[in-house]
Structure 1
């Protein structure tokens, strides 16, 4: 399956996310993206910095500062070595890092955060299992 097919079929087509992109693990190369979803290089650097931050007493800096994705600021409610979850009102982002990729997704107000997270985490598990 192509990277674009993962975005279109495994993420957006589920109805649990409305926008998605897949980047390399350094965040500097876009492998696939849904139409109209632009994550800037500076925003991806924020994501990469959040993953590289080991945190103090289990709290990463991004949990205090928030995160910007596609021009919007999200309050970070979870940040660990694999997953970053952010909220802005009733919409949010789910970002998951695999061995070689970073999945960046957005879900709308109409979707439950847990449904979006499960969709993205399941694809991430699959990608890790096949070596990505």
Structure 2
């Protein structure tokens, strides 16, 4: 299955995610994305990847300053090992890492955050099980 199929079918196709990207764990390449949801290399390498790698200084700064994803500012709400959760009003993002990828899912205000989180986390679990 192509990476774009994971974004289109597993994430957006679930109805719980409206925009998504899958990028390399190094943050240097985008494997698949929905149109208009470009997560910048700067956002990945300076904030998202360090938080996922448990850099307390970067995480604490993000709790204070916010987390930027695709140019939009979100309030960091939770970090739990492999995942980041953040909100912007009723919209939100769930970010999960696997061995080789970072999955970023955005949900709009009409979607329950728990459903969006479950969708992203389930794909991360599946990819980890497949060696990714």
TM-score by length of 2: 0.92
Q: Which residue of 2 aligns with 1:60?
A: 59
- Runs of 5+ in structure 1 lacking a partner? none
Give how far 1:66 is off.
1.7
- Structure 1 Cα separation of the partners of residues 105 and 28 of structure 2: 16
Deviations 1:9-59 (A, max 9, x none): 000011100000000111111010111111111111221121233427xx9
Question: Who is 1:85 aligned against?
Answer: 85
Secondary structure of the corresponding residue to residue 110 of structure 2: coil
1:7 paired to 2:18:
no
- Conserved? CA contact 1:93–1:104, under 8 Å: yes
Structure 2: give runs of 5+ residues left out of the alignment. Answer: none
> Structure 1 residue runs of 4+, over 3 Å off?
none
Please tell me whether the aligned partners of residues 63 and 79 of structure 1 are also in contact (alpha carbons under 8 angstroms). no
For normalisation by structure 1, the TM-score amounts to 0.92
Residue aligned with 1:63, SS:
helix
- 1:63 is displaced (CA, Å) by 2.4
- CA distance in structure 1 between the partners assigned to 2:65 and 2:128 by the alignment: 29
Is the Cα–Cα contact under 8 Å of residues 16 and 119 in structure 1 kept in the other structure?
A: yes
How far apart in 2 are the matches of 1:65 and 1:99? Answer: 28
